[in-house]
Amino acid sequence: MTTLFSVSISRRFWRVWQRNFTVYQKIWKISFIPPLFEPLFYLLAFGLGLGTLVGKISYHGTQVSYLAFIAPALIAVNIMNNSFFENTYASFVRMYHQKTFDAMLATPLSIDEIITGEIIWGATKSLIGTVIMLAVISLFGLIRYPSGLLIIPLAFLGGIAFGSLGMYFTGITPTIDMFNLPIFLFVTPMFLFSGTFFPIDNLPAWAQVVAQFLPLTHLVNLVRAFGFGTVDARLLWSAAYLFIFSIVFFPLALLKMRKRLIK
Amino acid sequence: MQYIIEAENLTKKFNGFTAVDRIRFHVNAGECFGILGPNGAGKTTTVRMVYGFSPKTAGTLNVFGLDIEKDWRRVKSRIGVCQQENSLDPDLSVEQNLLVFARYFDIPASRAREKAQQLLTFISLDNRRSAKVSELSGGMMRRMILARSLINDPELLILDEPTTGLDPQARHQLWQRLEELKAGGLTILLTTHYMDEASRLCDRLVIMDHGKILVEGKPADLIREHVGHNVIEVDDPAENLREFVKSQSLEFEDLGHRLIIYSQGKDDLFHEIGNRFCTGGCILRMATLEDVFLKLTGRELKE
């Protein structure tokens, strides 16, 4: 069944990335706006509004302001959303409605290259969004440098992890409306319970264990540590988790998309 | 001489359903080869195997003498494909569609720009280069798909129902372009269920039904062999005419209110029938490929 394309990821996946970048260049002015303003809205609402009620939060033994606590989490959520939504809704539209992948499959591109290019593109969008958000949040003095610079390559790794997960769902989702399901079951709970808006320690013990299995928990851990400049060995586990998560879901995404596209 | 496409016992099954059943055909360099058949006959499945979109279930399939399964990338870089569905990129302009597609073939940017310009002129869309794809008419989109499939200077052009849904003007426009390409020596593989299209463009063709090839040959030869030169159509035939055609063991089809009689080389048959049985509604016309097609694949609805 898959023997026809069993090899084959060459540097040509770059052509698929380029196609998406060409489209992005046409609409970059609009694409720039959400990562520019979204953190401002959140910082205003949660940091200033809710923050005055919450006061200080204890993080690894030090007291930090609520604004400082959630700022790195906003970046992490943005990394997740950018790649996950790119490789679900946007990739699905290209695959199913626009027949873009069908057209590519009549050229010397393999399915694996198309999907790889799409996932790398999703990660690129995470990276672009992160750079913009980082600049905005840094203006508030909420990011420490130079460790804060590590958030940029981290955004790419996080993008690969969540993009691969998104592409896996694209491979198995019958219609575009059905993406509501993985969003309701995975993305929304992660958004709320991954140490984003309150420390995981506040959860009941069983929920703390569950949270350790959510990739966003580890991404939040890493972004927060890099942003605060509190890098230590415990982060290796979080980095390893994201890495393993990518290594598992990337080939799974390829497999499901091959199954879906090869007729 | 080496064949451009050579298929032996080519078979495709989908979950137990046999879409293409041990077919065998070859395409010579420089010819236009047609695959005709009603909907669901296996035409699209066949060409999809040829351009490496669908893996075959069994048999052998060589394109340019290369095994499509092993050398798919080399084969695909030498063919151009017009898929049945509109797969133009709506996120890109007309010209960008060509330039981005050229990148998939690793064509350098300067060469791609030159080629895109040349192709836009060829399909008379050079004044619409920055238009959105969605602003184009159905005929323009089809011409764009043709232009896009030529971006890599293919040695083989594959067209899957290229004029389905087009108005007569747009169809003739497209046929003209295809004839120019053919005159330039390009090998073409074409699927269609329009007989006029096949008669006009194809040097040789096969008629398929239920995944099998029924006949193969030149359009004119197929008409002569299976129908003859002329066809007599009689509206509301009298009962004694039915008895007459049976007694003469003529080939005919009885549609109830209409009788279609294949003259099979008997040129004076029309006068005989006209004089003896017709009061009106009796016509003699040239046999066409459509007669062959309907005779072989039947007149009942296919879907």
Question: What single string gives the DSSP state of each residue in A52-92?
Answer: HHH-EEEETTEEEEHHHHHHHHHHHHHHHHHHHHIIIIIHH
Pairing of strands B204-209, B32-36: parallel
Q: What percentage of chain A reaches a pLDDT higher than 90?
A: 76
A62 lies within 8 A of chain B by CB: no
Q: What are phi and psi for residue B220, nearest 5 degrees?
A: -65, -40
Question: Which of B75, B91, B94 to mutate to test binding with chain A, by most A CBs within 10 Å of its CB?
Answer: B91
Set of chain A residues whose Cβ sits within 8 Å of the Cβ of B61: none
How high does pLDDT run on average in chain A? 91
To which H or E segment does residue B230 belong?
strand B230-235
What's the whole-model pTM score?
A: 0.91
Beta bridge partners of B32: B188
Set of chain B residues whose Cβ sits within 8 Å of the Cβ of A108: 73, 76-77, 104-106
Q: What are phi and psi for residue B125, nearest 5 degrees?
A: -125, 15
How high does pLDDT run on average in chain B? 92
Question: Which of A98, A104, A107 to mutate to test binding with chain B, by most B CBs within 10 Å of its CB?
Answer: A107
B231-243 average pLDDT score: 86
Rounded Cα distance between A214 and A218, Å, is 7
B234-251 average pLDDT score: 84
Residue-wise pLDDT tens digits, A75-120? 999 999 999 999 999 999 999 999 999 999 999 999 999 999 999 9
A194-206 average pLDDT score: 92
Set of chain B residues whose Cβ sits within 8 Å of the Cβ of A8: 73
Set of chain A residues whose Cβ sits within 8 Å of the Cβ of B81: 106
Rounded Cα distance between A115 and A253, Å, is 8
Q: Which of A184-193, B171-180, B236-245 has the lowest mean pLDDT?
A: B236-245
Residue-wise pLDDT tens digits, B112-161? 999 999 999 999 999 999 999 999 999 999 999 999 999 999 999 999 99
Confidence of residue A6 (pLDDT cuts 50, 70, 90): low
Residue A54 burial by CB count (10 A; 0-12/13-18/19+): exposed, middle or buried? middle
Q: Tell me what ipTM this predicted complex has.
A: 0.89
Q: How close is the nearest chain B Cα to the Cα of A133, in Å?
A: 26
Q: What are phi and psi for residue A57, nearest 5 degrees?
A: -120, 140
Residue B1 confidence (pLDDT): 63
B98-122 average pLDDT score: 96
Q: Where are the alpha helices (DSSP H) in B51-167?
A: 72-77, 94-104, 109-122, 138-149
Rounded Cα distance between A190 and A184, Å, is 10
Instruction: Examine the pLDDT at A176 and tell me if it is beyond 90.
Output: yes
- B144 CB-near residues (< 8 Å, 6+ apart): B88, B94, B97, B123, B125, B133, B136
Residue A3 confidence (pLDDT): 42
Instruction: Examine the pLDDT at A258 and tell me if it is beyond 90.
Output: yes
Instruction: Examine the pLDDT at B302 and tell me if it is beyond 70.
Output: no
